[in-house]
Each structure stands twice: as structure tokens, then as C-alpha cells.
Amino acid sequence: MAQYKVAWLTGASSGLGEAAARRLAADGTVVCISARSEDKLRAIAADFSNIHVYPADVTDADVLTEIAADIEKTHGPIDLALFCAGTWFPGSIEDMKIHNFHKTFDINVNGVANALAAVLPYMLERKSGHISWISSVAGYGGLPDSMSYGASKSALITMAEGLRPELAAKGIDVTVINPGFVKTELTAKNKFPMPFLMELDEAGDAMMKGLKTRKFEVTFPWQLVWILKFLNILPYPLYFWLVRKATMKS
Ligand SMILES: NC(=O)c1ccc[n+]([C@@H]2O[C@H](COP(=O)([O-])OP(=O)(O)OC[C@H]3O[C@@H](n4cnc5c(N)ncnc54)[C@H](OP(=O)(O)O)[C@@H]3O)[C@@H](O)[C@H]2O)c1
């Protein structure tokens, strides 16, 4: 029997979100998928009778509220809300573009808050449910060329840390997913070496295996995770020295 009856996923038109949607649908969950690219969502839904398409831009809070209400009415109580929508603009500080900074926060942080606000009232009323979103190991601490992305992902980790105990008292589990590098459209634009780069299939399996335990943090691959976790407990001078060495920044 499927662990979840009804799931709502954002950012499910490609990459990790699509991988999660396909795995949940194969398990027998009714999966409602959102993203901006309706054509891609429809192509995924064409492979399953239990995937339903709800196109949306996560920066539009009103649309997300309408979608959550529609899913609850049409398909029943959402017991998994998995927010995968995210963006990343590569580039160094020399060509900082302020609108890209704002866009990163609008999609990565406010987009999650918008979706959370849409689904939370239903789960609070039922005193049950599982809420999860994808942050990143880039959120563990500041890294060069990643100011806006890293900060947006740190915010997502902090939000989840605060919510986990708060919502546990109300019967709702919170899980933050912190992947390292995974081969997707998002990382295809990267021109720098990506240590321990994972295939999407492997990452999708690791994500779903971890998610189903309902633990707080799901993270992979362990090699990059432990290097970065270790770096972030070091004193700042040592941290900056090692980061400069690793990234060749002077
Ligand atoms: N790949 C990695 O190495 C890696 C590592 C750590 C964390 N992550 C995180 O994993 C998540 C998924 O990324 P991915 O690697 O799977 O990349 P991806 O294939 O590019 O997927 C990004 C998803 O977000 C959706 N999206 C972007 N902007 C949106 C918006 N305004 N409204 C609604 N949906 C939007 C995209 O769909 P549309 O364009 O159709 O809207 C797409 O479905 C992101 O949060 C990313 O930061 C990825």
C-alpha cells in the first residue's frame, strides 16, 4: 500500500521533482504536480493515470492557495507536500545582477513559503501530514559564487529547523532535503567541477528512501555532505583558507 494517499509537488516538471513524482505515482499515490511548464507536466502525467496537472508559478501565492483547495476537494486530504521548485543563476560577484538576486529569493524562499501557507491550514486542522522541501548542501555555509543561491538555501534550512519542533507538537512532520550535485537542467549550466556529481536516478531513489522515514534531514551524497558539514564546524580563518584552496579563490 502507498505510504501517502495524496501528494502535491511543486517544481515537478523536471529534475528531482519529476523523479519524486514518478516514484510516488509508481507507489500508488495520487500525485498532483505543479510548475510553470504545462507541456512538460502533461508529458509526465501521460505516463500515469494517478498524476494530475496543476500548472503554477510558485511566486503567485493566490494561485497556490487555489490549487491546494482544489486538490483537497477533488482528490482528498494532501498528506505529503513536497516543494522542489528552485532556481540558480551562476555568476561571480563581479557581474552581480540584482534582479537575479531578487528572483532567487522570490522562487526559492518565498515560493516555498507561499506553498506552505497554502497547504498548512488543512494539515493543522487534521493534525497530520508531511511537509518537505528541497534546500541544498550549499545552504550549510557561505561558498564563493553562490551568494544568493546559498543564502536562499540557508533560509530554507533555518525555516525547516524552526518548523520541525513547532509542527511536531501538532502531528505534522517536516523534512528538509539537502542534495549535493545532481545531474539536472539546473546543474547543466555549471562550468565548474562538481565533486561527487550524482545521476538523477540515484538521487531520486535516495531522496524518496529518506523522505519515507520522515526524519528531519535527507541528504546525499554522503562524501560531499560530510566534507561540508565538517568545514562548517571549523573556526572562520581555517574555513576561509580551506574554501579558498578548494575553489582557487585568492
Ligand atoms: N541539481 C542539483 O545538483 C541540486 C542540488 C541541491 C539542490 N537542488 C534543488 O533541487 C530543486 C530541483 O532542482 P533540479 O536540480 O531538479 O532542477 P530543475 O530540473 O531545473 O528543476 C527545477 C524545477 O523548479 C521549477 N521552477 C522553477 N521556477 C519556478 C517557478 N517560478 N514556479 C514554479 N516552478 C518553478 C521548474 O519548472 P518550470 O521551469 O516548468 O517552472 C522545475 O520543475 C531546486 O530547489 C534546486 O535548488 C538541486
> In a mutational test of the pocket of ligand 1, which residue from 14, 33, 199 has the highest number of ligand atoms less than 8 Å from its CB?
14
For residue range 54-108, what is the model confidence (pLDDT) as tens digits?
Answer: 999 999 999 999 999 999 999 999 999 999 999 999 888 888 899 999 999 999 9
Task: Find the domain containing 114 and state its range.
Answer: 6-223
For residue range 135-148, what is the model confidence (pLDDT) as tens digits?
Answer: 999 999 999 999 99
Q: Is residue 229 part of a domain?
A: no
Cα of 67 vs centre of ligand 1, distance in Å, is 19
Distances (CA, A) of 40 to 44, 150, 206, 241: 6, 28, 24, 44
Give which of 24, 4, 113, 14 is closest to 65, Cα–Cα.
Answer: 113
Q: Is residue 244 part of a domain?
A: no
CATH label of the domain that carries residue 135: 3.40.50.720
Q: Which residue puts its alpha carbon closest to atom 42 of ligand 1? A: 11
Domain count of the chain? 1
Cα of 31 vs centre of ligand 1, distance in Å, is 18
Q: Is residue 172 part of a domain?
A: yes
Cα of 33 vs centre of ligand 1, distance in Å, is 13
Q: Is residue 249 part of a domain?
A: no
Q: Is residue 170 part of a domain?
A: yes
Q: Is residue 196 part of a domain?
A: yes
Instruction: Give residue 56's region: left, alpha or beta (phi > 0; psi -120 to 50).
Output: beta
> In a mutational test of the pocket of ligand 1, which residue from 9, 18, 36 has the highest number of ligand atoms less than 8 Å from its CB?
36
For residue range 152-165, what is the model confidence (pLDDT) as tens digits?
Answer: 999 999 999 999 99
Positions marked catalytic: 149
